[in-house]
Amino acid sequence: EKRNPGQTEFIQAVREVAQDIFEFIEDKEEYHEAQILRRIAEPDRVVSFRVCWEDDNHNIRVQRGWRVQNNNAIGPYKGGIRFHPTVTESVLKFLAFEQTFKNSLTGLPMGGGKGGSNFNPKGKSDSEVMRFCQSFMTELYRHIGPETDVPAGDIGVGGREIGYMFGQYKRITNRWEGVLTGKALEYGGSQMRPEATGYGAVIFLQNMLQHAGNDVEGKNAVISGSGNVATHAAEKITQLGGKVLTLSDSGGFIHDPDGIGQEKIDWIKELKNVKRGRISEYADHFTGATYHEGARPWAVPCDVALPCATQNELNGEEARELVDNGVIAVSEGANMPTTLEGVDVFHDAHILYAPGKAANAGGVAVSGLEMSQNSERVSWNTERLGDLLHDIMTDIHAKCAQYGGGEEGGYVNYVKGANIAGFKKVADAMLAFGVV
């Protein structure tokens, strides 16, 4: 805390990992001597820069941009870019730290990074977003590259923003190369990338349930968010025979007891991605559905819950309510959506609980596969990528179960499993490099 004053999110993330790692390395002298955990918790570098742009009324606006390059022991830095007014250095440091473990878990050669800006894309015109993205990339380009650091999208950064940033990178450097992932299919994007995070979180959920002798089929799901991750998680739950009861945005949540099936999900995608509307409009459009302003969906009784909006959106009290209502499994599509208190509630009640760093790793895994396709100058088909995503998520589940203390049929602590499995690979690579 003395080292990182005021960086509450970052301290929270490190604290959560440290408990498990201390236990794991207790009898492993080599990790202690090399101060490995301390080194992973100090980013390789944090770049902060000014982003200056002109709005439609010719006002000059000044924003701050960052790129946190946390660790590149096992591959080039990799992690998304977030545009949201709540972005701070602490938030990006926590995300880059978590990303290091997540990327390690995928089994692909990717280090951990994260970037973004406190720019708020909401209410901005297309040209304003374009000018902002171009200005952001005009500084960022010197810190990234296909062998150095390969950013992707995150909250507030979707296909449109990736397009503007990739175009600017190409213009400045005169190089067409896979420097960003999440690109559109026309210019080097990968099949399955938009679906990967949400689908992956549900595949992980399915693995947890099956490991415990259960299944997704017939389960009622409560999901938060209505962006990329939430809508695709809803889609996969529906495909596997579950029923989605809720979705939300920062204004409130909608509850549809009839289930939010594929047609309704398509309507929401159009509402959010094209019309840039609010989730409240759903309740005006579909009879039987209700909108709950300013509230989160966790009080709606369900079998499984998938927080897919943002960090710290599910607290201890809400976790208790979920448990009291009979939830059996929680799979995090978002990054750190559950507070530490909430996590304790799930563990104490022996709920199957998958932390974001394991459950939402499908997105970065397919991003890694997008990098492979770009390097090879090929495009793989949806079926192949769907199979790879499935295999990677199943493999991550197996690693978490191995290190999470789950005897045959016993309770698995997936947080512990993910922390230790993710740490071990990065730590072993760092040991091999000596003191650097």
* C-alpha to C-alpha distances, 71 to 7, 78, 93, 161, nearest whole angstrom: 19, 9, 11, 25
48 in a labelled binding site: no
Query: In the 8-state DSSP scheme, what is residue 154?
Result: B
> Contact at 8 Å (CB) between 234 and 222?
no
Residues between 346 and 365 that touch ligand NDP (CB under 6 A): 360, 363
114 part of the active site = yes
Strand partners, 60: 54
Q: Which residue has the tokens 């602590």?
A: 413
367 is in an annotated binding site: yes
Question: Alpha helix (H) ranges present in 145-273?
Answer: 159-173, 193-211, 228-239, 262-269
Interface region with ligand NDP, contact rule CB under 6 A, candidates 1-9, 303-311, 384-392, 404-412: 303-311
Residue 410 CB, nearest approach to ligand NDP (Å): 29
Q: Which is nearer to ligand NDP, 332 or 430 (CB)?
A: 332
114, 124, 416, 424: which one is catalytic? 114
Closest CB to ligand NDP among residues 317, 348: 317
Q: Is 99 annotated as a binding residue?
A: yes
| Single residue of 297, 333, 404, 422 touching ligand NDP by CB under 6 A | 333
Residue nearest to ligand NDP (CB): 227
> Smallest gap, in angstroms, from Cβ of residue 253 to ligand NDP?
9
Which residue among 73, 268, 309, 426 contacts ligand NDP (CB under 6 A)?
309
- Among the listed ranges 13-21, 31-39, 308-316, 413-421, the one in contact with ligand NDP (CB under 6 A) is 308-316
User: Using CB under 6 A, which of 20, 154, 303, 318 touches ligand NDP?
Assistant: 154
By CB under 6 A, is residue 112 in contact with ligand NDP? no
CA 412, CA 358: separation in Å to the nearest integer?
Answer: 13
312 binds ligand NDP (CB under 6 A): no
Contact range with ligand NDP by CB under 6 A, out of 26-34, 244-252, 371-379, 409-417: 244-252
- How far is 356 from 295, CA to CA, in rounded Å? 22
What are the strands, taking DSSP E only, across 189-340?
220-224, 243-249, 252-255, 290-293, 304-307, 329-331
Q: In terms of CB distance, is 36 or 152 closer to ligand NDP?
A: 152
When binding is defined by CB under 6 A, the residue of 225, 242, 297, 404 that contacts ligand NDP is 225
Per DSSP, the three-state class of 407 is coil
Give SS3 for 223: strand
Residues binding ligand NDP: what is the number (CB under 6 A)? Answer: 23
**Residue 152 bridge partners (DSSP):** 80
Query: CB within 8 A of 287, min separation 6: which ones?
Result: none
Residues 292, 253 contacting (CB under 8 angstroms): yes
> Which member of 11, 14, 110, 334 binds ligand NDP (CB under 6 A)?
334
Q: 104 Cβ partners below 8 Å, 6+ apart?
A: 74, 112, 421, 422, 423, 425, 426
Residue number, 75 or 227, with CB nearest to ligand NDP: 227
| Sole binder of ligand NDP in the list 310, 338, 339, 413 (CB under 6 A) | 310
Residues 219 and 342: their CA atoms lie apart, in Å, by: 22
Other C-beta atoms lying within 10 Å of the C-beta of residue 174: 6
At its nearest, how many Å lie between ligand NDP and the CB of residue 38?
A: 26
The answer to whether residue 156 forms part of the interface with ligand NDP (CB under 6 A) is: yes
Binding positions are 78, 99, 102, 153, 197, 228, 367
Which of the residues are catalytic?
114
Give me the residues that bind ligand NDP (CB under 6 A), please.
Answer: 153-156, 197, 225-230, 249-251, 308-310, 313, 333-335, 360, 363
